[in-house]
Amino acid sequence: MSTEGAKRQPKYQRIADELRDAIQAGQYRPGDRLPGENDLMADHGVARMTARQALGVLQSEGIVESRKGAGVFVRAFRPLRRQGIQRLARSQWGEGRSVWSVDTEDRTLVVDRVRVTEQGAPEHVARVLGVEEGEPVCVRSRRFVLDGKPVLLATSYLPAGLVAGSSIAQEDTGPGGTYARLAELGSEPVHFREEIRSRMPTAGEAEQLKLSTGTPVMLICRTAFTDEGRAVEVNEMTLDSASYILEYAFDA
């Protein structure tokens, strides 16, 4: 056999560690190609599956990305910054600018695949909106794309009775967006709650967001309340975690 000393760790881990260190040390920069499976087999005298496993480790850590037929490449991290509180200040959406245009920071975030339907409220949405399960709600789904890469899926739910006949039920909600329309309907949202969690994406999410393996999603569920404390919208968002930093600024 080979030398005994270094057997404390699995081979694939040692190979992965070596590559990770090289990346951290700057020997490979974002976008660079790493040694492929064949290179690792030759360099380390190891079987195919073992080299593969080593690359799999880095891939599932999200620091590396494989492209079929091309190679394995170092990933970059260049996120957007999403201002959780300022974005919802009245001054932002009262002035005809889209809520979302605040996001962009000079890159262009475009909306894509808008779909507006009416359907029965799912259980968890019904509970938050304070309606019966299955009661009709207006469902607005959109996807947002940045420089050709989808970064955000958003689905909002509003009581169907509340928005009937308004442009909220249309694809284009007009200047100021949904919240300006709600205000005109006498249900101005003034209080918000955002709940955030993170997990690995489902297959469907990974496909819609074109996520590479090893990239989690962040989930934001925002509930909008009127001044009477009535919930008028639930907005469920799914964010590519490699594309976003969330920011909340507030006073003690």
Partner DNA sequence: AAGTGGTCTAGACCACCCG
Partner DNA sequence: GGGTGGTCTAGACCACTTC
Among 19, 53, 181, 220, binds DNA (CB under 7 A): 53
Among 17, 22, 52, 200, binds DNA (CB under 7 A): 52
Type and span of the H or E element at 128:
helix 123-129
Q: b/e string for 92-124 if b means 16 or more Cβ within 10 A?
A: bbeeeebebebbeeeeebeeeeeebeeeebeee
- In the region spanning residues 179 to 198, those forming contacts with its own copies, defined by CB under 8 A, are 189-198
Q: List the single partner that 251 binds among its own copies, DNA, none, CB under 5 to 8 Å by kind.
A: its own copies
What CA–CA distances, in Å, run from 219 to 59, 70, 153, 199?
Answer: 22, 32, 10, 8
Whole-angstrom distance, CA of residue 216 vs CA of residue 244: 11
**Which of 111, 109, 88 minimizes the C-alpha distance to 99?**
88
Cβ distance to DNA smaller for residue 33 or 81: 33
Residue 61 is a binding residue for its own copies (CB under 8 A) = yes
- In the region spanning residues 6 to 35, those forming contacts with DNA, defined by CB under 7 A, are 10-13, 34
Residue 46 is a binding residue for DNA (CB under 7 A) = yes
Strand partners, 222: 194, 235
Among 39, 105, 171, 207, binds DNA (CB under 7 A): 39
Q: List the single partner that 202 binds among its own copies, DNA, none, CB under 5 to 8 Å by kind.
A: its own copies
Residues that bind DNA (CB under 7 A): 10-13, 34, 36-39, 45-50, 52-53, 55, 66-72
